[in-house]
């Protein structure tokens, strides 16, 4: 598979890393799962969190909690202490997220809001983005059963689970997890589609071009072009 050619660095910007999807910049990002119970969005979002011991504030509304369940904290790992907050209304989730972003000691703020509540408008997302950037704390909003309506989120993703990579030791066993990603709107990156592969051993994330960016020969594995560690 031919590797995806990333966007050139904008004029006046010497460091091209800001144009790669694997570089996390503290701001508001939205991610839309392909289906409400697809774990790809959560998996990809977790792989993008800073590799620190700082606690993560995770806020869910009632419908997200009922339809998709709570995060499996044991699977996330002890290196990321999680502060879980269960709320009922979207307005309370937004308030808790914004209040959490005032705390620079947090490693990230995550919110899950179901559907398209009127309170989740452009102004609300703009406030989250500004708080996140002011505190240098990444903020992620997981949008299940939602439309991609107007938002101030800097990066907006769609995510879907893909068949895992080939297991080098057992062809019948699953290999490294993969996710199909579509960056359909961004203020700093060129939109595009990738297959992301997470290497558990090295705790690194790789992005490879989808077949629309080149030809795929039988038996080819994705060319790893970017990593976040």
Domains of the chain are: 22-212+220-228 (3.40.50.300)
**Which residue bears the tokens 């030791």?**
169
> In this structure, how many other beta carbons lie within 10 angstroms of the beta carbon of residue 217?
7
pLDDT more than 90, % of the chain = 47
Q: How does pLDDT run across 122-159, given as a tens digit for each residue? A: 999 999 999 999 999 999 999 999 999 999 999 999 99
Q: How does pLDDT run across 100-128, given as a tens digit for each residue? A: 999 999 999 999 999 999 999 999 999 99
SS (H, E, C) 90-150: HHHHHHHHHHHCCCCCCCEEEEEEECCCCCCCHHHHHHHHHHHHHHCCCEEEEEECCCCCC
Q: What are phi and psi of 165, to 5 degrees?
A: -70, 165
What order do you get walking across the sheet with 139-144 strand by strand?
82-86, 56-60, 108-114, 139-144, 28-33, 155-162, 178-186, 192-199, 204-209, 227-228
Q: What is the pTM of this model?
A: 0.79
Choose among 203, 219, 195: nearest CA to 3.
195
């Amino acid at each position: 598979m031919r590797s995806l050619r990333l966007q050139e660095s904008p004029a006046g910007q010497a460091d091209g890393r800001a144009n790669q999807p694997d570089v996390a910049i503290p701001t508001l990002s939205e991610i839309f799962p392909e289906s409400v119970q697809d774990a790809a969005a959560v998996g990809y979002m977790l792989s993008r969190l800073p590799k620190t011991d700082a606690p993560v504030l995770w806020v869910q509304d009632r419908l997200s909690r009922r339809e998709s369940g709570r995060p499996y904290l044991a699977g996330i790992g002890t290196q990321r202490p999680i502060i879980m907050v269960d709320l009922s209304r979207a307005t309370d989730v937004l308030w808790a997220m914004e209040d959490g972003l005032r705390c620079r000691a947090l490693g990230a703020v995550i919110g899950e809001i179901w559907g398209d509540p009127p309170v989740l408008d452009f102004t609300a997302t703009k406030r989250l983005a500004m708080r996140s950037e002011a505190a240098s704390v990444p903020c992620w909003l997981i949008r299940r059963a939602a439309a991609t309506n107007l938002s101030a989120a800097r990066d907006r993703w769609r995510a879907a689970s893909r068949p895992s990579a080939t297991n080098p030791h057992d062809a019948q066993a699953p290999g490294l997890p993969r996710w199909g990603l579509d960056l359909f709107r961004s203020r700093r990156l060129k939109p595009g589609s990738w297959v992301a592969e997470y290497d558990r051993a090295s705790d690194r994330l790789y992005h490879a071009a989808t077949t629309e960016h080149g030809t795929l020969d039988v038996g080819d594995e994705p060319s790893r072009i970017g990593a976040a560690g």
